[in-house]
Amino acid sequence: MTPSLVRRLVLRMTTGLFVGILATSISFAARTGRIDVDGVDVFNGPGEGYEVIDQLPHDAPVTASNYPTEGYYKIRTSTGRVGWVEADSIKFDNPLSPGSSDYGTSGPAGPGQEQAPLAADPSNPFRGGSPAYKRESSASKRVYSFVRVRALGGGTFFKPADVNDQLSFSEMNGGFSYGGELGFRFTKDFAVMFRAENLSRNLAAHNPTANKSYNIEYYTFPVMAGVEVTLSEERSFSTSFAVFAGLGVNSTLSSAELSTPSQITSYQNTSFAGLGKLNISYHFNKDAHVTAEVGYRFLRTPQLDPGQTDTGGEIWQVNSAFRQLSLDFSGVLLGAGITLQF
């Protein structure tokens, strides 16, 4: 191999290496900015339907494409991960101006002229688009309208004072609850929710005066609607606060003597129900969470006379007359369950 041939080979290799390095640098040249919201999801494609591959905190530095695609910017994080985030979640250090060269022209467009689009380059993930993308971004902001479903169970710590006083004990304090919620999330932080549940307490009581034993059932079916607001959302945890209002349907206190279980005396009413609670969720993934709830429920009927009377009602009598009772299900609630979103 002659010296001149060696020189030509070295020159070509050096030139190729330089061009490769320059092309790589150009291919990832883009605007820099910072995440302007807390806990933004990073997807592996331009849309909510893609997999969440990361989550960035507020003020995290990113490098982004010049223009959004379907309302999402392609970004590179400080750790080198490439993904897509919502267009309105980035605050740029160098916003594009119509007269800048990366906007698609070498200068401002003349009167009556359209801005020329910047040619797309398949080898450059941060190049391509046109001013139309910029106009599209505000209209392409993601609108959250997916469904949220929860199945919940736990304890409810009510204290029905009238019932306890009549029975001369406090065993009616507290019961069990189970139910579910269905919600529609219209923005990242706001959802309209519907909740239905069952609260119940069953026990056996003995009347020493009459030497009789009774089976007592105490239950209600709250059906409510409300709103839920996200307080914080990270990759693995989130918190939210919800308020509900509705009706405690078929709130009932019934009793029957154990020897004659078909002979029932019952108090029954439908009354206002309200609930405020805090949710704390651990995220298995974007769509499956374990959720704990703590809050306070208000549900109390007015003073009631029994709507049905039989031999099982002696336990509610005073001087052979039935006592008026208020059915109180108000109290702290503690629960846990599964949340699914789709």
Q: Which residues, 6 or more positions from 64, have their beta carbon under 8 angstroms from its beta carbon?
A: 30, 31, 32, 33, 73, 74, 75, 76, 90, 92, 126
DSSP state of 328: B
pLDDT per residue as tens digits for the range 23-75: 444 444 478 999 988 888 899 899 877 888 888 998 999 999 888 888 899 99
Eight-state DSSP code of residue 304: B
pLDDT value at 222 more than 60: yes
pTM: 0.63
User: Taking a C-beta distance cutoff of 8 angstroms, is the pair 277, 307 a contact?
Assistant: no
pLDDT tens per residue across span 294-341: 999 999 999 999 988 887 788 888 888 999 999 999 999 999 999 998
Kind plus residue range of the DSSP H or E element containing 21: helix 3-27
Fold for the domain defined by 146-341:
Porin (2.40.160)
pLDDT of residue 2: 64
Q: Domain boundaries in the chain?
A: 3-139, 146-341
Burial of 20 (0-12, 13-18, 19+ CB in 10 A): exposed
Superfamily of domain 3-139: SH3 Domains (2.30.30.40)
Query: What residue has token string 């208020």?
Result: 326
